């Protein structure tokens, strides 16, 4: 069984590397005690997302329902012949990931099969299930069944997931709207996407990032650097989106080059290791200057 789990975890790891070089880079910076579980979570959510986003020409509803049933059965039985689901059930059972988080995520995936437009309430429900709960799953791994530490970090973790998802919505406007016909932002007409619409969304994301940083600086050391790298990458992505006109954004996917990702990694290493992990310590002004300069990319 140890060999089977090892093989299953390698499948999740390879899935992460194949689908997201930036996220994979962040996971590599996590402590070894939590790294496999985060790969397992990412592999699971990636497969579910693939079902609803790319498996056109197949019965997506049936495939998702089967995936959902297999997931719940695997969590109960502690085994699955699907290596991605087996990895995920291992993470769920090992780190005490709560079932309602899994349920909320899968419910949001179901929404993607039928919903094309969202009102304010549906928008928040979707973001919670598709992004915030993924952050909370990871947080339960990082806190390793320490309820006090977990509860202290719940809100920042949710805000970080929310910020990431909203940036993804802006980055993926072309494919979501033109290919899939989806409009996630309530009361926004992408046929007439205005600069004011864009600014309002960016301001929401800026506030989310501010709240998220409050938690990142006090994360356990097993995860602080990796999460800070992901935060910094998305901060740069938002900065580039802010510099792109609304009329261009609807027709172009904004990217950060691999070379610049490496530069972001170097900056994060500098902040973390030079300051011994105290990326937000008030007693270290030079660190705060670096952090504040990152924040200014968003709020400027």
Condensed to tens digits (0 to 9), the pLDDT of residues 12-47 reads: 999 999 999 888 999 999 999 999 999 999 999 999
Which residue ranges form the domains of the chain, and what is each CATH number?
1-98 (1.10.600.10), 115-300 (1.10.600.10)
pLDDT in the model for residue 275: 62
- Residue keyed to tokens 């990326």: 279
Q: How high does pLDDT run on average in the chain?
A: 89
Instruction: Please tell me which residue, 295 or 74, carries the higher pLDDT value.
Output: 74
Joined tokens for residue 6? 């090892």
Count how many Cα atoms sit within 13 Å of the Cα of residue 221 in the half-sphere of its side chain. Answer: 6
How much is the pTM? 0.89
Sign of CA dihedral 144, 83, 11, 26: negative
pLDDT in the model for residue 276: 60
CB of 54 within 8 A of CB of 24?
A: no
pLDDT per residue as tens digits for the range 161-173: 999 999 999 998 8
In the predicted model, what is the mean pLDDT of residues 261-265?
A: 93
CB of 18 within 8 A of CB of 258?
A: no
pLDDT in the model for residue 296: 41
């Amino acid at each position: 069984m140890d060999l089977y789990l090892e093989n299953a975890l390698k499948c999740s790891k390879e899935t992460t590397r194949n689908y997201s070089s930036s996220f994979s880079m962040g996971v590599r910076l996590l402590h070894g005690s939590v790294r496999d579980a985060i790969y397992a979570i990412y592999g699971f959510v990636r497969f579910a997302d693939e079902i609803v986003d790319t498996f056109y020409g197949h019965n997506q509803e049936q495939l998702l329902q089967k995936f959902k049933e297999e997931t719940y059965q695997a969590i109960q039985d502690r085994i699955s012949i699907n290596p991605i689901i087996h990895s995920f059930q291992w993470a769920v059972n090992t780190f005490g990931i709560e079932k309602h988080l899994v349920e909320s995520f899968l419910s949001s995936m179901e929404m993607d099969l039928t919903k094309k437009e969202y009102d304010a309430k549906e928008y928040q429900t979707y973001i919670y299930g598709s992004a915030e709960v993924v952050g909370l799953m990871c947080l339960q791994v990082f806190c390793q069944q320490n309820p006090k530490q977990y509860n202290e970090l719940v809100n920042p973790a949710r805000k970080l997931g929310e910020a990431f998802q909203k940036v993804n919505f802006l980055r993926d406007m072309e494919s979501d709207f033109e290919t899939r016909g989806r409009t996630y932002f309530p009361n926004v007409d992408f046929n007439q996407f205005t600069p004011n619409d864009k600014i309002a969304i960016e301001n929401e994301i800026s506030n989310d990032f501010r709240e998220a940083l409050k938690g990142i600086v006090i994360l356990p050391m097993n995860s602080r650097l990796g999460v800070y790298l992901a935060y910094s990458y998305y901060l740069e992505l938002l900065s580039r989106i802010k510099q792109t006109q609304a009329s261009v954004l609807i027709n172009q996917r904004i990217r950060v080059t691999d070379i610049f990702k490496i530069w972001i990694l170097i900056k994060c290493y500098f902040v973390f290791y030079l300051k011994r992990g105290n990326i937000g310590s008030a007693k270290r002004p030079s660190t705060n200057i670096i952090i504040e300069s990152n924040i200014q990319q968003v709020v400027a």
